Amino acid sequence: MNNHNFGCDFGSYHLKVYHKEADEYMIQHNMVAVQDKKGMLAYGDEAYAMYEKAPSDIHVTNPMSSGNLASISNMQAFLRNLLEKSIKGQLKGADYFVALPTDMQERIFTTLIQDSNMKPKNVYLVDKPVAAGLGLGINVKEAQGVMIVDIGGETTEISVLSLGGIVISRLIQNGGRSIDDAIQSAIRKEFNFFIGSKTAEAIKKELAFAIEPEETLMPICGRNMVVGLPQMMEVNSLFVYDAIQEQLGVIMDAVKTILERTPPELGVDIIQNGIYLTGGSAKIRKLDVLLAQKSGIRVIVDEEPEMSVVKGLARVMNEREFRPLAFVTKEQKYE
């Protein structure tokens, strides 16, 4: 008999999985490398290492795009290979708890797992903002307003929760990758210097400040577009600060829009409890300070913001009090 239980957060940047029986988390870059006529060559961190370096017959892609599934088959193969490598025993008959993003159709992730050859026993869904709240240590079942701003790889999800459900939410197509693109574009425009997306991401992690940047330099490698040759140059945090302001402004405006639409009684709770900032791009330096300035409300950031959702799934799986927050699709109910 299979007693495996898994919690899955299918993020645009990373796939995060909680294995209940081992009480451990697995995190891998959400990428696969597929070679012509040979199928999947690599996945996760190994595929990410090939990104922007592979020959033409090896396609390194992300199974998730803009918060949606771009390739169900690649995602199925990635998840199956990761789990088979990580656990002892068979996958057949396992239960899966999946974080469901705002605006995502319920059946998509259910179909992803049910139609794979993993042959699951049950597929449960948990609203992603609810899971994030639990992962942040909040009792989301209480009658209190909680605002969560989740800045992910390609989207930002802004939600107000109460009594275990979503009262109001908004998903915008701005996240860590759009900030990377802004850095990449600014360097190309200002210096006629082309860098890859992995370099842009590294610059963001090293130099990005939301306000009051501390002057820091970082050497980078790219291609001088004037002479057409690879070269080194230095980029500084002040330049990066200017490059990302527009993208951060879009996120701040979206937060203010949700606050304006929040019912007054829940708004009072948010003022008292603060705004919770999570997601991988919450690590941008002083982003919490910028959000506090723009909203007039204090902001709380988790120590591991990229892990909030999968930690919340773990609480649903382990704590009986929160198990009712998991649900199944109508299709599953009537099978």
- Same domain, yes or no: 36 and 145: no
Tell me what pLDDT residue 332 has: 56
The two structure tokens encoding residue 258 = 């949700």
Q: Which domain holds residue 182?
A: 140-301
- Same domain, yes or no: 89 and 26: yes
Please state the rounded mean pLDDT for residues 188-216: 96
Contacts for 39 with CB less than 8 Å, ≥ 6 apart: 77
Give the residue carrying structure tokens 């050859």. Answer: 117
Please state the rounded mean pLDDT for residues 316-334: 83
- Same domain, yes or no: 178 and 296: yes
- Specify the number of domains making up the chain: 2
What are phi and psi for residue 226, nearest 5 degrees? -80, -50
Q: Do the domain assignments include residue 335?
A: no
Give the CA dihedral 282, 288, 291, 295, nearest 10 degrees.
130
pTM of the shown model: 0.92
Share of the chain residues as helix, strand and coil, in percent rounded to the nearest 5: 40, 30, 30
The domain spanning residue 80 has which CATH number? 3.30.420.40
Q: Do the domain assignments include residue 332?
A: no
- Same domain, yes or no: 253 and 148: yes
- Same domain, yes or no: 117 and 180: no
- Same domain, yes or no: 36 and 163: no
Tell me what pLDDT residue 87 has: 81
- Same domain, yes or no: 161 and 252: yes
Q: Do the domain assignments include residue 334?
A: no
Q: Do the domain assignments include residue 249?
A: yes
- Same domain, yes or no: 167 and 122: no
Half-sphere exposure of 187 (CA within 13 A, CB side): 32
Q: Place 14 in a pLDDT band, splitting at 50, 70 and 90.
A: very high
Tell me what pLDDT residue 334 has: 40
- Same domain, yes or no: 43 and 81: yes
Give the residue carrying structure tokens 């090293």. Answer: 206
Tell me what pLDDT residue 101 has: 87
pLDDT in tens, 220-238: 999 999 999 999 999 999 9
> Whole-angstrom Cα distance, residue 94 to residue 84?
12
- Same domain, yes or no: 291 and 164: yes
Q: Do the domain assignments include residue 330?
A: no
Mean pLDDT of the chain: 92
Beta strands in 192-262 (DSSP E): 193-194, 217-224, 229-236
- Same domain, yes or no: 118 and 219: no
Tell me what pLDDT residue 70 has: 83
Tell me what pLDDT residue 1 has: 46
Q: What percent of the chain has pLDDT over 90?
A: 81
Lowest-confidence segment of 11-15, 114-118, 132-136, 149-153 by average pLDDT: 114-118
